[in-house]
Amino acid sequence: MSTPSPPPQPPPPPTPAEPSRGVWTGRVVAGFLLVLFGIAWLLEVLDVVEVPWDVFLPAGLILVGVVLLANVRSQASQGGLIATGIVLTVVLALGLAVDFPISGGVGERREAPTTQTQLREGYRLGVGQLTVDLTDLSAAELSGRGPTRMRARVGIGQLVVIVPEDMVVRVDARAGIGNVQVFGVEGSGLDVQRTVAPRAGETPALELVLSVGLGQVEVRRD
């Protein structure tokens, strides 16, 4: 009587292939850019430093392109690196299309200057709501050779400017995509602009130049 042969053993599991040099390089670059942009964003939110995003983002896009060119002979997939480049390209293209500032921080910010010295020439916010309350300023405080100019910009979100009830102002407001409301009169759509000039014979104490890339600009009296 013959002895039965043992059942065949299953083949050993395949050894996972080591990632190629191209995949490894792409992952390192993508991870490096994400960490770098995250740190920069955090520092700006905390008001530690103002990051020049208009230089920072194109530099990151150039780095992605250089690495892709360096790995052009590699047969490995560069999906992660390509996705990073696409995201950077979309952000830059959107910024150019609607003219919104990428820098300026994120969140809700309120400014309430009480003197001409405290009034800054420019206010800026990247994403969120920026409120500039000018109700504690007086025309006498702003008197001089001509109107005092104040600029304010928001990238994505809402910009609210409150002016005194009796102050003569000139307003130039614009929204790349969104809504503009000046003293109760509003308009919506693409590249919305509204200018409110003083009546004949009146000299404005303030000249407001306001813009939002994507969102709403509101000017009201209080």
Judgement on whether residues 85 and 110 belong to the same structural domain of the protein: no
User: Which domain does 183 fall in, by range?
Assistant: 106-221
Q: Distance (Å, rounded) from C-alpha 44 to C-alpha 190? A: 29
Is the model more confident about 25 or about 216?
A: 216
- Please report, rounded to a whole number, the percentage of residues in the chain having pLDDT higher than 90: 26
Count: domains in the chain: 2
Cα–chain center distance at 196:
27
Q: Cα dist. 174→7, 35, 133, 158 in Å? A: 79, 34, 19, 12
pLDDT at 182 over 90: yes
Q: Which of 7-21, 105-119, 149-163, 190-204 is the least confident region?
A: 7-21
- Please report, rounded to a whole number, the percentage of residues in the chain having pLDDT higher than 70: 67
Judgement on whether residues 176 and 200 belong to the same structural domain of the protein: yes
Judgement on whether residues 121 and 189 belong to the same structural domain of the protein: yes
Judgement on whether residues 116 and 66 belong to the same structural domain of the protein: no
Domain stops at, among 98, 133, 159: 98
Is residue 170 a contact partner of residue 147, using CB atoms and an 8 Å limit? yes
Judgement on whether residues 38 and 79 belong to the same structural domain of the protein: yes
Q: Would you say residue 34 lies in a domain?
A: yes
For the chain, the three-class secondary structure string (H helix, E strand, C coil) is: CCCCCCCCCCCCCCCCCCCCHHHHHHHHHHHHHHHHHHHHHHHHHCCCCCCCHHHHHHHHHHHHHHHHHHCCCCCCCCHHHHHHHHHHHHHHHHHHHHCCCCCCCEEEEEECCCCCCCCCCEEEEEEEEEEEECCCCCHHHHCCCCCEEEEEEEEEEEEEEEECCCCCEEEEEEEEEEEEEECCEEEEEEEEEEEECCCCCCCCCEEEEEEEEEEEEEEEEC
pLDDT in tens, 26-36: 667 777 777 77
Judgement on whether residues 169 and 112 belong to the same structural domain of the protein: yes
Q: Distance (Å, rounded) from C-alpha 147 to C-alpha 205? A: 5
Write the CB contacts of 155 (distance below 8 Å, at least 6 apart in sequence): 95, 100, 101, 102, 104, 125, 126, 127, 212, 213, 214
Judgement on whether residues 158 and 197 belong to the same structural domain of the protein: yes
Domain stops at, among 64, 98, 132: 98
Q: Would you say residue 8 lies in a domain?
A: no
Judgement on whether residues 213 and 110 belong to the same structural domain of the protein: yes
pTM, full prediction: 0.61
Q: How many CB atoms lie within 10 A of CB 96?
A: 10
Domain stops at, among 66, 98, 130: 98
pLDDT at 95 over 70: no
Q: Would you say residue 6 lies in a domain?
A: no
Judgement on whether residues 171 and 217 belong to the same structural domain of the protein: yes
